[in-house]
């Protein structure tokens, strides 16, 4: 079965510091991978999606970037965090079926 590993679960970072969140998946090959953000009191906003290695599409302009160095690895990064980057970040995959499956999320607090 498909599983998603996302870490860390919580992270507190100072403004201006770099960020790297990692997501790895198992049990599927060539999945579509997604990064979502849930800001306080808001829904799920799609940040990036990837249909394959090295293929990244950005949905909204922002301070973040994403990379997919391997088929089952999706990384969310920032060179300098802003206060507004605080939120709950979710990695998701879409395999052979039509549903997306989510990881457990990372709670990022920028201070």
Partner 1 sequence: DQQVKQNSPSLSVQEGRISILNCDYTNSMFDYFLWYKKYPAEGPTFLISISSIKDKNEDGRFTVFLNKSAKHLSLHIVPSQPGDSAVYFCAASAVGGWARDNYGQNFVFGPGTRLSVLP
Cβ at position 10, least distance to partner 1 in Å: 8
Q: Is 10 helix (H, G, I), strand (E, B) or coil?
A: strand
Cβ at position 21, least distance to partner 1 in Å: 13
Site stretch for partner 1 (CB under 8 A), options 14-22, 62-70, 75-83, 98-106:
98-106
**H, E, C per residue of 14-83:** CCCCCEEEEEEEECCCCCEEEEEEECCCCCEEEEEEEEECCEEEECCCCCCEEEEEECCEEEEEECCCCH
Cβ at position 16, least distance to partner 1 in Å: 26
Instruction: Report strand pairing: 10-13 vs 106-110.
Output: parallel
Contacts of 6 (CB under 8 A, 6+ apart): 21, 22, 23, 90, 91, 103, 104, 105, 106
- Number of residues forming the site for partner 1 (CB under 8 A): 27
**Binding marks (x or -) toward partner 1, 42..81, rule CB under 8 A?**
xxxxx--x-x-----x-x----------------------
Site stretch for partner 1 (CB under 8 A), options 12-20, 62-70, 75-83, 100-108:
100-108
* Residues lying near partner 1 in the complex (CB under 8 A): 4, 6, 32, 34, 36, 42-46, 49, 51, 57, 59, 88, 90, 92, 94, 98-105, 107
């Amino acid at each position: 079965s498909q599983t998603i590993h996302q870490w860390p679960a919580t992270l507190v970072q100072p403004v201006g510091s770099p960020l790297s969140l990692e997501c790895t998946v198992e049990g599927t090959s060539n999945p579509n991978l997604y990064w979502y953000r849930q800001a306080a009191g808001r829904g799920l906003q799609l940040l990036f999606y990837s249909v394959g290695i090295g293929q990244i599409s950005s949905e909204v302009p922002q301070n973040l970037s994403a990379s997919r160095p391997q088929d089952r690895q999706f990384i969310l990064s920032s060179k300098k965090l802003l206060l507004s980057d605080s939120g709950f970040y979710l990695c998701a995959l879409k395999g052979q079926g039509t549903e997306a499956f989510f990881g457990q999320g990372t709670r990022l607090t920028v201070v």
